[in-house]
Amino acid sequence: MKFARTFLTAAVAAAAVFAQSQPNSFTATLTIDANDGPFYPMQINIRTNTQSTISVSGLPGRVYAIFQTVGNLAAVPTFFNNVGYVHLPLAPAPIIAVDGFANPQAYNTGPNAFQSFPVNIPAAGNPPNGVPLNTSVCLQAIVQDTTSPVGITLTAATRATVTQGPTITNLALPGETALPVTMPTGLVLPFYNANYSTIYVCENGFMTFGTPDTDFTPTPPEFESGPPRIAAFWTDLDQSSGQIRATTDANPPGLFPYCKVDYVGVIDWSGVGFVHNFSMYIDNQGLAQIIYPPSNFGSIFETAVGITKGGGAWPAANTPATCKDLSVLQNNGGQAGATSESFFEWFGQTTMPYYTYGVNRTYDLAGRTLTFLPNNGASSTLVGQTSKYYYY
């Protein structure tokens, strides 16, 4: 198959030119993130800090090669009789990004006539660790094809242009620290009838709005009187063994702009207890969520979970007995809150090293997603109109 690996270079001198397009076909298809046309050649956007998927299909067990150029597709394609139209510019010659003719074991369509592989798109920036925004990469493949007179067939071509994706910030929060995370331009987070462009993330399992907080001993009175807060797992945590990262995205496809904070492998303070994994999410419509995998066990310290406007706006729930039972409410279909009403639960056991109340409330939210819908789900919900929530 030497011809298959060198025909693009030879095309500069040998090919006739036609103003036509090369589509994907049953025997030769290249897709990026499931984009397979029409129209051809294809033009798509890929986003920084995301993962794209390249797929090649054809007849079963056929090898393939993917060619790549930087810039735009050729204004006029180059035609090869019985092979197809080359939409990549031929000067300078395209590079071979994937070469199944040289490495057939790695790059072939297999028994299912299909192979795909992920491609990590770097953050916006400069090489080698970043990629400049608006960079365009053009890809086209040749696939071994026993139905073709020359044994190969061209796929459609695709121009992939790099656009801004999510911004991921790894936070170093040792020793009861809280750090600000500023939203990208265009992203405003409404929470309890106020708009915020900055959140403060604390090592101890919560984010606050308007002002930072580093408290590691949660109580219901502190939850109600402190700053506006989303607490996924407010307890005494130690980041030293794990990661805390904030993801912001002002233009996510198919979603509202959002901010998400993930705690991965964070342990109880002093290294005694359990490893914890959980997330907090809020979008520009005010929808807030707290997300727990099934493996998130309770802390050995007292813990508070939920949302609050703070500032004493809803002082009724100031003891473990008066705060809500979130799992029971969720099991019973949720609950509509009043204006400024908080939704939170306090967990504690008499056997804990730090203990305030003479009651036992066992953490029972592992594997759940707690959703707080603004304005009780009213259709008039707009940015800033988040005075009350529906919990489910």
Domains of the chain: 2-163 (2.20.130.20), 167-391 (no CATH)
Average pLDDT over residues 297-301: 92
Q: Write out pLDDT tens, residues 94-106.
A: 999 999 999 999 9
Verify cis geometry, omega within 30 degrees of 0, for the bond prior to 128: yes
Tell me how crowded residue 381 is: count the other CB atoms within 10 A of its CB. Answer: 17
Q: For residues 266 and 238, is the Cβ–Cβ distance under 8 A? A: yes
* Residue 369 region by backbone torsions, left for phi larger than 0, else alpha for psi between -120 and 50, else beta: beta
Q: How far is CA 63 from the centre of its chain?
A: 32
Taking the C-alpha atoms of residue 115 and residue 63, their distance in angstroms, rounded to an integer, is 10
- For 52, counting Cβ atoms within 10 Å of its Cβ (0-12 exposed, 13-18 middle, 19+ buried), the class is middle
pLDDT band, very low/low/confident/very high, at 279 (cuts 50, 70, 90): very high
pLDDT at 262 over 90: yes
At residue 284, what is the residue type? N
Q: Write out pLDDT tens, residues 317-360.
A: 888 989 999 999 999 999 999 999 999 999 998 888 777 888 88
The pTM for the full model equals: 0.84
